[in-house]
Amino acid sequence: MNEVTQTQFFGDFSRLRSRIDMLARFQPEFYAAEVERIFRRAWLPVASVTDLPRENCYVVADVPPLKASLIVARGADGKVRAFYNVCRHRGARLVKDHAGCRKALSCGFHGWTYATDGRLIGVTDKTQFPDLDPEQHGLVAVNTEVWEDFVFVNFADKPEQTLAQWLGKFADQYTGFFSDRQRIASYRIVVDANWNVAINSFSEGYHAAYVHRKTVPDYQGGKKNPQRHRAYLEITEHHGRYSAQANPNRRVTPVEAIAYGDGRPLYPSFPPFSETTLPLPPGVNASRDENWGFDVAEVFPVLIWIIGAHWHANLWFWPMGADKTDVRVEFFAYKAQTVGDALSHAYFRTRLREVFREDVGTMEQVTNALRSGAMRDIVLSRQEFLLQQHYAVADAMLGRSA
């Protein structure tokens, strides 16, 4: 290893800009354009296949920028579909609970009933609807594709790309990684912050030595990487990812030693990487760094993955307006089989939650400061290329020139 870690950069960086006009992005008309040109056209991850373990299971997924509520369901035929959560009779919300498994979904307003594949199968007092064609009044479908443990939807009448095309290089580089996991925590918070600012809080590690100095002060860096440079950073057509190195000089706390004593190590402990002891798909620790800690990837526009050897976190940043964001996070890890595993999960859940709270604390501060007009532009480093990529992709979809 070099005396000081040098980042390996991959991708076309020619369209990236180090200065970004942020003040314009807080205007209502700019947000309206983002909704129509980004969120109505992009493939959006809205649910987890984990929540659809068998036929006739469903989950309700809200998509705030489009003011849409969706039913994501696995039909009796095993196929996963998404529909607007709207009864075709009078427009009432069809499903009010968050998730469940049942063969039919009935509206609480007038009792119209639908199968989990969207078909209208029951109409109350049907003889009083002489012109009703049930085949034409099933639930309104949304374009749906499944990739790994994620259900993606696209609200365009005809998507411009398939999901595989949208994911690009990511599409075949994470095979099996997100499967066979246990969800061990989920959180949700609404912040008075612009959605771009919110997602930016997680797409660089430049802040870690400062924002997280009390919770995880030495989990990255070390003598050979004092500035905590990313070991690997790559951008694709729409997305981006980086790998962070672990600190080989880190001191394990006594509590952590107990918590992870009988279970596989989770954040902020990182097992040494080797192809033999820790086989991973090519998208995870892409540079095969022996001192690998974790990966961060942005799946544009709203999803951040944080990926460790035996765990991952999904973070969504759904805009609710120009200055309000619905932030959701889920933590997954290997399935607990022993008391030691359960203790590891509990410690991981608590530790990562506190770090997450520190990141959330920056979002409203930054939004308020930038909205004041004190400065119009932000300036970004090479270690913040994922932020630059985020704005390059957004501006391309918005039709804005560099």
pLDDT digits (tens, 9 = 90+) for 322-341: 999 999 999 999 999 999 99
- Asked if residue 81 has pLDDT above 80, the reply is yes
- Asked if residue 1 has pLDDT above 50, the reply is no
pLDDT at 263: 84
Please compute the mean of the pLDDT values over residues 292-297 and round it to a whole number: 96
The full DSSP string for 177-192 is: TTSSEEEEEEEEEEES
Spatial CA neighbour of 330 closest among 311, 302, 358: 311
- Asked if residue 321 has pLDDT above 80, the reply is yes
User: Looking up tokens 């918590």, which residue turns up?
Assistant: 259
Which amino acid would we find at residue 286? A
Please compute the mean of the pLDDT values over residues 252-270 and round it to a whole number: 90
pLDDT at 389: 98
Per CATH, domain 44-158 is 3.20.20.60: no
pLDDT at 251: 87
**Domain boundaries defined on the chain:** 8-40+170-398, 44-158
**pLDDT exceeding 70 applies to what percent of the chain?**
99
Secondary structure class of 400 (helix, strand, coil): coil
Alpha-carbon distance values, 151 to 46, 49, 61, 73, 144 (Å) = 6, 7, 10, 10, 7
Please compute the mean of the pLDDT values over residues 27-47 and round it to a whole number: 97
DSSP lists the bridge partners of residue 19 as 379
- Asked if residue 249 has pLDDT above 90, the reply is no
The single-letter DSSP state of residue 127 is: G
Instruction: Answer for the pair 254, 234: CB distance below 8 angstroms, yes or no.
Output: no
pLDDT at 296: 97
**pLDDT exceeding 90 applies to what percent of the chain?**
86
Integer Cα distance of 326 and 15 in angstroms: 29
The half-sphere exposure of 102 on its side-chain side, counting CA atoms within 13 A, is 11
Task: Say what the pTM is.
Answer: 0.94
Neighbour tally for 401: CB within 10 Å: 5
Tokens of 336: 């607990």
The strand ranges marked E within 155-287 are: 181-191, 232-235, 240-245
Integer Cα distance of 182 and 201 in angstroms: 26
pLDDT at 399: 95
Spatial CA neighbour of 66 closest among 94, 89, 37: 37
User: Looking up tokens 């009390």, which residue turns up?
Assistant: 214
Mean residue pLDDT across the chain: 94
Please compute the mean of the pLDDT values over residues 26-53 and round it to a whole number: 97
Secondary structure class of 359 (helix, strand, coil): helix
Please compute the mean of the pLDDT values over residues 358-383 and round it to a whole number: 94
Please compute the mean of the pLDDT values over residues 24-35 and round it to a whole number: 96
DSSP lists the bridge partners of residue 243 as 232, 295
Integer Cα distance of 241 and 257 in angstroms: 30
Neighbour tally for 140: CB within 10 Å: 11
pLDDT at 3: 59
The single-letter DSSP state of residue 220 is: B
Q: In this predicted structure, which of 54-58, 92-96, 119-123, 287-291 has the lowest mean pLDDT?
A: 287-291
Per CATH, domain 8-40+170-398 is 3.90.380.10: yes
The single-letter DSSP state of residue 170 is: G
Which amino acid would we find at residue 328? R
Integer Cα distance of 108 and 293 in angstroms: 49
Spatial CA neighbour of 348 closest among 336, 360, 364, 362: 336
Which amino acid would we find at residue 202? F
Write the pLDDT tens digit of every residue in 296-308.
999 999 999 999 9
The half-sphere exposure of 366 on its side-chain side, counting CA atoms within 13 A, is 19
Please compute the mean of the pLDDT values over residues 209-224 and round it to a whole number: 88
Which of residues 302 and 401 earns the better pLDDT score?
A: 302
- The pLDDT-based confidence of 277 (bands split at 50, 70, 90) is confident
- The pLDDT-based confidence of 264 (bands split at 50, 70, 90) is confident
- Asked if residue 142 has pLDDT above 90, the reply is yes
Alpha-carbon distance values, 206 to 25, 124, 202, 375, 385 (Å) = 23, 60, 10, 21, 11
pLDDT at 171: 97
Which of residues 97 and 140 earns the better pLDDT score?
A: 140
